[in-house]
Amino acid sequence: MSRTRLAVITVVLVIITAVAIFWSQRNKPIGVQLTRVERGAVERTVTNTRAGTLNACRRARLSPSLGGQIASLPVSEGESVKKGQVLFEIWNDDLRAQVKLAQAELIASRARQQEACIQAELAQTDANRLRKLQQQGLTSDEVANKAISQSLSTRAACEAAAATVSVSEARLSVASASLAKTRLNAPFDGTIAEVNGELGEYVTPSPVGIPTPPAVDIIDTSCLYVSAPIDEVDAPEIRAGMEARISLDAFGREFFDGRVRRVAPYVLDVEKQARTVDIEVDFISASDNSNMLPGYTADIEIILDTNTDSLRIPTEALLEGSRVYLYDPDLGTIREVTIRTGLANWQHTEVVEGLEQDQQIVISIDREGLGDGASVKIEK
């Protein structure tokens, strides 16, 4: 056998082997997962572009308006407090003394007013009596006129004493206001989140334009809401009162019903980030957030539109160009089908045209070798 003939036979054998391998691989069924086309609700939704935050409806970061030494700190972190309760107090013995002095002056002023006004009433009674006697000719004009003048004088003294009482009340208000500046009171029922300071330490007010940690941070955990940024493209369709779903990383895949409470009236422009609009969502049921803490990472999904009884498929089964792989149970193959879609979200897509109920489609569309006419085997 010549070398040329041997080479030709070798090449032919290699080609035959390659074709056989290719053909065997081509006809080998590809394992896929299927799902049925079903009827159900489909929603059109929008979600936040970046993680949102669970916030308290009321939160106060309190700091004293005066500097001084901490004399009283009756609360600690995690403690529940009532509205009006004293949380923090600076040394204020001098101001307390001024308040007591103002209170004493007010008591004295009221006593002087009472004395002056009693005298004015007596003088008025005297003047009225002498005026009648004057009209009857039983007393001289001089005596009557003197009694009338005395009455007017004591009435003026009574009014002056009343004005002095008003001045004393104002002084007491000023002293009380100065004393109040040394105390921090709870503006509402809540929980102490943070306390910065210890007994005996000196505190100073925050300089203008330089934020400093609050002396006491109080949070009302009975009311919580989620604030999250939505892309500016989606914002025009969102209105207060729309239904939404809330999810939190701390609670896994559990969802909570919510309602849009506020749409920010401006677009937030942050450097190197997409422009967004802040959306706030309330929990519909107050009991849902009873075990939650402000600051949790949260996401929102706002429902823009809903069809309650639509033909639908999982969104993950949809190929680019609104195509799906439709399974033929008789041939054990799949074929590409172009469909017309309606409402859609990350979970379901509405099928308007191109599929029928109970037909089976491929959801594992990332398998290698899938294509129009491919042989498949069903995986559970």
User: Which of 256, 289, 304 is a domain's end point?
Assistant: 304
Considering the domain boundaries, does residue 11 fall inside one?
Answer: no
Tell whether 76 and 101 lie within a shared domain. Answer: no
Tell whether 107 and 126 lie within a shared domain. Answer: yes
Considering the domain boundaries, does residue 279 fall inside one?
Answer: yes
pLDDT of 22:
55
d(CA 238, CA 232): 11
CATH number for position 238: 2.40.30.170
Considering the domain boundaries, does residue 4 fall inside one?
Answer: no
pLDDT of 99:
95
Angle between helix axes 141-180 and 93-135 (nearest 10 degrees) is 160
User: Which of 249, 284, 304 is a domain's end point?
Assistant: 304
Which residue range forms the structural domain that includes residue 205? 64-89+182-213
CATH number for position 354: 2.40.420.20
Considering the domain boundaries, does residue 20 fall inside one?
Answer: no
User: Which of 159, 190, 213 is a domain's end point?
Assistant: 213
Q: Write down the pTM of the prediction.
A: 0.66
Tell whether 51 and 174 lie within a shared domain. Answer: no
Considering the domain boundaries, does residue 15 fall inside one?
Answer: no
Q: How many domains are there within the chain? A: 4
Each of the 380 residues of the chain gets a pLDDT tens digit; together they read: 566 666 666 766 767 776 566 555 555 788 889 999 999 999 888 999 889 999 998 999 988 888 899 999 999 998 999 999 999 899 999 999 999 999 999 999 999 999 999 998 998 998 888 888 878 877 787 887 888 888 888 999 999 999 999 999 999 999 999 999 999 999 999 999 999 888 888 888 777 767 778 889 999 988 899 999 999 999 999 999 999 999 999 898 889 999 999 999 999 887 677 889 999 999 998 888 778 889 999 999 999 999 889 999 999 999 998 999 999 998 889 999 999 999 988 889 999 999 999 999 999 988 888 888 888 888 87
Considering the domain boundaries, does residue 19 fall inside one?
Answer: no
CATH number for position 80: 2.40.50.100
Angle (nearest 5°) at CA 241 between 235 and 245: 75
Tokens of 8: 């030709």
Tell whether 73 and 37 lie within a shared domain. Answer: no
d(CA 163, CA 117): 12
Q: Read off the amino acid at residue 203.
A: V
Tell whether 245 and 358 lie within a shared domain. Answer: no
Tell whether 119 and 157 lie within a shared domain. Answer: yes
Considering the domain boundaries, does residue 145 fall inside one?
Answer: yes
Where residue 117 falls (left for φ over 0; alpha for ψ -120 to 50; beta otherwise) is alpha
Tell whether 311 and 367 lie within a shared domain. Answer: yes
Tokens of 155: 């009435």
Tell whether 205 and 249 lie within a shared domain. Answer: no
* Environment class of 288 (CB within 10 Å of its CB; exposed 0-12, middle 13-18, buried 19+): middle
Where residue 6 falls (left for φ over 0; alpha for ψ -120 to 50; beta otherwise) is alpha
Tell whether 117 and 171 lie within a shared domain. Answer: yes
Considering the domain boundaries, does residue 7 fall inside one?
Answer: no
pLDDT of 323:
93
Tell whether 233 and 98 lie within a shared domain. Answer: no
Tell whether 128 and 266 lie within a shared domain. Answer: no
Tell whether 52 and 176 lie within a shared domain. Answer: no
d(CA 56, CA 373): 57
d(CA 324, CA 372): 10
